Structure formats: C-alpha cells, structure tokens
Amino acid sequence: MARRMTSEELLQISIEIRNSMLRPVEKKPYFTEKYPEFAESYPQLFQMAIDPSADFNHITFLMQQLKAVETKKASFRDASVTVGEVFAAKYVTPIVERLDAERERQ
C-alpha cells in the first residue's frame, strides 16, 4: 500500500507539473512515469495540475485545508465544510441566483 503524501509534497509536485515547460499533452505521460504514486493515488489533483485551464488557486486552497487537518488546526469535517462553502459560493450560488432571476422575469 502506498504511503499517504503530505500536503507539502502534493503542492510541490503540483507546482512542478504546472511550471513544467512541457506541452500539456506531454505532461501526463512524463509526470505519470516520474510520479506514479501521485498520478494513481490523486488522479483529480494530478489532472488539475496538468490542465492549464484549471485554477491553480484551487489546488493551493485545497492543500491549505489539508495542511490545517494534518497540523490539527482544523478537523477533517471543518476543513470539508470550508471547502464545500467556498466552492458552493463560487460555482453553485451564481447559477442558482441566475436561475432565480430568470424565473422572476417570466
């Protein structure tokens, strides 16, 4: 069984992938070979690091929350709630508000 990577390790690998001069299509095979544990154990994070259109601030935010759990500054539940609230405010709330506004215009 692979050991669990720390938030610092995950962030450093993500930064390395993001800052790589390889073209996006070259990054996946190269970094899958270089960091097979990362690619296999954290596939969504790996994809976010490779995808140039993904907001890297999301990775940083997620790693900050993970570090808070690792250092016992936050419980897993509290960190999960924080992540859910931030992403809901960014993605869900605007859609709901737009739909409500459209419904009111009808």
Q: Which amino acid is at 42?
A: Y
Residue 22 has pLDDT above 90, yes or no: yes
pLDDT value of residue 89: 93
State the alpha helices, DSSP H only, in the chain: 7-19, 24-34, 36-41, 43-50, 56-70, 76-87, 93-105
Residue 97 has pLDDT above 70, yes or no: yes
Query: Which are the contacts of 63, defined by CB distance < 8 A and separation ≥ 6?
Result: 7, 8, 10, 11, 14
Residue 2 has pLDDT above 70, yes or no: no
User: How does pLDDT run across 24-35, given as a tens digit for each residue?
Assistant: 889 999 999 999
Rounded Cα gap, residues 56 and 90, in angstroms: 15
User: How does pLDDT run across 67-91, given as a tens digit for each residue?
Assistant: 999 999 999 999 999 999 999 999 9
Rounded Cα gap, residues 65 and 78, in angstroms: 9
pTM of the model: 0.81
